[in-house]
Structure 1
Amino acid sequence: MAVALLLTNICVAQNYFDDFPVMANPKTVGDKLSTRFLESKHQLYGDRGIHYAEVCTWYGALKFAELTDDQDLVKELRTRFELLFHIEKDLLPPPIHVDQNMFGSLPLRLYTMTKDERYLELGLPYADSQWILPPNANEEERKWHEKGFSWQTRLWIDDMYMITVVQNQAYKVTGDPKYIDRAANEMVLYLDEIQRPNGLFYHAPDVPYYWARGNGWMAVGMADLLYDLPENHKDRPRIMEGYLAMMKSLKAYQSPGGMWNQLIDEPDFWPETSGTAMFTYAFIMGVKHGWLDAEEYGPAARQAWLAMVPYIDEQGNVTEVCIGTGKKNDKQYYYDRPRPVGDFHGQAPYIWCVNALLEK
């Protein structure tokens, strides 16, 4: 029965995810975004290495190159990375924080594609060190470690992409179940602790606002984890429950034009592209893999994709992207956030959507 449902969903999904207008063709969009990435300078944390938003974009571009068998693009993306082994070695992020550690997903992805051992040797310690308590750990970090969770646990919604992406990649390259178990165990913790009754997530327990991109990290994190998690894994039912609850609520808050706003439940706020792209990705993944009803969510995903594409300018920059945003218990603060053109926070999830649409 489950297989039949999945096959039905795939057939219906092809109808919703095919025959796009020229400007919305996933391959065309992917080429444009990947070219723009290669033209871009590094985004840095000051003296703490390459920023996670660039890593997310780079990771997406690599997957796009693989899906389209674009060996020239693979070569250019690898050439950009090769500098990190010598000339730009100082830009490697230190494994001292959840945002820096997720860098490991990038060399691990390159190892999957090339089997070059240098990538494995560089990437795997970023995954391992998320569970190795540093000598200078504070009391809260020690507490999480003693409970079997990553010492980098913060109960911030961003973490459910930053932790899971590197652990998932480590699982794929090693086959060691401890990595996927870590990711699933963390996800269940976060769902139990911070998911609201309506399926969405506050930016933080003391900041009761449904910020779009923050929720987007959870949406993408759950979708990617469900894709990688074995069907018989003990934590799969709980994660699926959390994912379905979130998707139902997101569908209810999608605007008539297809986008989601900077604060999801505030109709007077502006449409925000990075969160919209993340939710669209989660919808596409759910429809294609049979987790979501295709006839209900397929049209919503298609509408969102068609609404997103016009926000890409002629240079391949995504517009209306909320800048990196810390929590603040002030609604106006979220409304007033700057919207830098071409911010990697927006470029990345757009490429992820391209990949989800192209995957068979």
Structure 2
Amino acid sequence: MVNCKQYFFKATLLFISVTFLSCKTVAQQPAQNVESQNQIKVSSNMKWSDKMALTLMKRHPQAFMIDDAKAPKWDYVHGLVLHSFEELYKKNPDPRYTAYVKGYADALVNADGTIKTYELENYNIDMVVAGRLLFDIYKKTNDNHYLTAMQTLKKQLESHPRTKSGGFWHKKVYPNQMWLDGLYMGEPFYAQYTVTFENGKNLDDVAKQFEQIQMHATDPKTGLLYHGWDESKQMPWANKETGNSPNFWSRALGWYVMALVDVLDYFPKNHPKQKELVGYLNNACESLAKYQDKSGLWYQVTDKGGEKGNYLEASGSSMFAYAFAKGANKGYLPAKFKKLANKAFDGLTKQLIKVDADGTITLTQACQVAGLGGTPYRDGSYEYYVNEKKKDNDPKATGPFILAALELNR
């Protein structure tokens, strides 16, 4: 009888201890987050890249929270911003940066390599770009589930629907359409994958994506590229002769030139398509330089500076600053583009950055989102672009801002 009593007493004690400890752990979790947030200090003498990265970490303690996400989501904005953290780590190896990136990967990639919230059968090119984060993590850890996740994204590209001329559709729900955005979403990952795992066998196909958009979406008069091209010419926004959307949107052009400078990292100089891509970059950047405002920035609708409602926009300006600087640093673009990039960065820091009391920074005047078609319908008109919502520290601006700061060593 005594033994039973002792057993019952010990079991009860154990249950209370475990319950108490687990309650304590749960209760302490947010406190740890708050504590680490408070530990992040942003000082005025830091480089702009660190200021922005630490600002984001302070305001979004876990990387999946970027863009005010409430739950982990596999998404292109996380792919963009966290890629900038990986590049920052190469210049300033602060372990907090890699931990932040890996935290995102581990919140989204399951132990079997499946990716939470990702659905291959949607054939959404936006979903590929976050796969760029997994190359370094896989290299460092050699954990196969990261490789499996990358293979899944590559599988999407293998069966992704294409235009008759071979260009990836932007999404399954946008048939026959290529958007400039999609070049950044798909091609840098595709190029890195084929060079890392396939001895570069698909580099011609990567180049083909740029050839298609360059051939179909370039305006012969300005040299700028239209936001979208519909091969079928069926969309109400599409020009009945060319299939192009009606306007030039700076962020779409920004995605395009960033895609070019990033993809060129994987094209050997002796590759037959390398010079072609460098040529596209020069054409686009020369055309963009003509529309740079005296402030150093670019307008939301690129070629209509000064028209009613148009404004100097942060994401496109940051993307151009990055592409110009990297293009010049790598020798793809003439040296004058480094000066233009510095002028753009001056415009961003002097006109669009606000510094808060705790030293954190906010980049203002970023367009939150813009697209074509869909529900509610987006017609690609001038009025449409200038009236889309703006968002402070939108990730489509903060990621390129960090990348530009790194290329310019500011």
Tell me whether 121-130 or 259-268 shows the greater mean CA deviation.
121-130
Query: Equivalents in 1 of 2:206, 2:285: separation in Å?
Result: 20
Match of 1:117, as an amino acid? N
Tell me whether 308-317 or 75-84 shows the greater mean CA deviation.
308-317
How far 1:321 moved relative to its partner?
0.9
Scaled by the length of structure 2, the TM-score of the pair is 0.72
Match of 1:279, SS state, is helix
Q: Which residue of 1 aligns with 2:343?
A: 303
What aligned pairs does 1:1-12 form with structure 2 within 5 A after superposition? none
Q: Which residue of 1 aligns with 2:370?
A: 325
Q: Which residue of 2 aligns with 1:334?
A: 385
Tell me whether 227-236 or 165-174 shows the greater mean CA deviation.
165-174
Q: Which residue of 1 aligns with 2:189?
A: 166
Q: Which residue of 2 aligns with 1:273?
A: 314
How far 1:317 moved relative to its partner?
3.5
What aligned pairs does 1:341-352 form with structure 2 within 5 A after superposition? 341-352=392-403
Q: CA offsets, 1:301-336, max 9 Å, x none?
A: 111112112433434332211011013242111111
Q: CA offsets, 1:47-105, max 9 Å, x none?
A: 99432112211221122123311123212321232122459x77442222111233322
Q: Which residue of 2 aligns with 1:50?
A: 74
> Is the CA contact 2:223–2:284 (under 8 Å) kept in the aligned structure 1?
yes
How far 1:218 moved relative to its partner?
0.6
How far 1:155 moved relative to its partner?
1.8
Query: Equivalents in 2 of 1:226, 1:85: separation in Å?
Result: 28
> Is the CA contact 2:187–2:259 (under 8 Å) kept in the aligned structure 1?
yes
Q: Structure 1's 37 and 230: CA in aligned 2 closer, same or farther, altered over 3 A?
A: farther
> Is the CA contact 1:38–1:77 (under 8 Å) kept in the aligned structure 2?
no
Match of 1:155, SS state, is strand
> Is the CA contact 2:49–2:403 (under 8 Å) kept in the aligned structure 1?
no
Scaled by the length of structure 1, the TM-score of the pair is 0.81
Tell me whether 43-52 or 116-125 shows the greater mean CA deviation.
43-52
1:110 aligns with one of 124, 134, 137: 137
Q: Which residue of 1 aligns with 2:291?
A: 253
What aligned pairs does 1:174-253 form with structure 2 within 5 A after superposition? 174-197=197-220, 198-205=222-229, 206=238, 207-253=245-291
Q: Which residue of 1 aligns with 2:118?
A: 93
Taking only aligned residues, the RMSD between alpha carbons, in angstroms, comes to 3.0
Query: Equivalents in 1 of 2:76, 2:342: separation in Å?
Result: 28
Match of 2:119, as an amino acid? P
> Is the CA contact 2:369–2:389 (under 8 Å) kept in the aligned structure 1?
no
Query: Equivalents in 1 of 2:139, 2:83: separation in Å?
Result: 12
Q: Which residue of 2 aligns with 1:11?
A: none
> Is the CA contact 1:273–1:346 (under 8 Å) kept in the aligned structure 2?
yes
How far 1:149 moved relative to its partner?
4.8
> Is the CA contact 1:131–1:149 (under 8 Å) kept in the aligned structure 2?
no
User: Bigger radius of gyration, 1 or 2?
Assistant: 2
Q: Which residue of 1 aligns with 2:93?
A: 69
Q: Structure 1's 37 and 356: CA in aligned 2 closer, same or farther, altered over 3 A?
A: farther
Q: CA offsets, 1:228-282, max 9 Å, x none?
A: 2111112222222211111111111111011001011111221100000111111
> Is the CA contact 1:26–1:357 (under 8 Å) kept in the aligned structure 2?
no
Match of 2:294, SS state, is coil
Match of 1:216, as an amino acid? G
Task: Give unmatched runs, 5+ long, in structure 1.
Answer: 1-20, 134-140
Task: Give unmatched runs, 5+ long, in structure 2.
Answer: 1-43, 171-175, 230-237, 239-244, 373-378
> Is the CA contact 2:118–2:127 (under 8 Å) kept in the aligned structure 1?
yes
Query: Equivalents in 2 of 1:45, 1:73: separation in Å?
Result: 19
How far 1:227 moved relative to its partner?
2.7
Q: Structure 1's 111 and 24: CA in aligned 2 closer, same or farther, altered over 3 A?
A: same
Match of 1:253, SS state, is coil
Q: Which residue of 1 aligns with 2:324?
A: 283
> Is the CA contact 1:52–1:99 (under 8 Å) kept in the aligned structure 2?
yes
Which of structures 1 and 2 has the larger relative contact order (alpha carbons within 8 angstroms, sep 6+)? 1
How far 1:222 moved relative to its partner?
1.1
How far 1:132 moved relative to its partner?
1.9
> Is the CA contact 2:353–2:362 (under 8 Å) kept in the aligned structure 1?
yes
> Is the CA contact 2:226–2:246 (under 8 Å) kept in the aligned structure 1?
yes
Q: Structure 1's 39 and 151: CA in aligned 2 closer, same or farther, altered over 3 A?
A: closer
Match of 1:305, as an amino acid? F
Q: Structure 1's 72 and 203: CA in aligned 2 closer, same or farther, altered over 3 A?
A: closer
Query: Equivalents in 2 of 1:79, 1:53: separation in Å?
Result: 15
Number of aligned residue pairs: give it. Answer: 329
> Is the CA contact 1:52–1:102 (under 8 Å) kept in the aligned structure 2?
yes
Q: Structure 1's 46 and 24: CA in aligned 2 closer, same or farther, altered over 3 A?
A: closer
Match of 1:158, SS state, is helix
Query: Equivalents in 2 of 1:331, 1:219: separation in Å?
Result: 22
- Write 1 or 2 for the structure with the bigger share of helix: 1
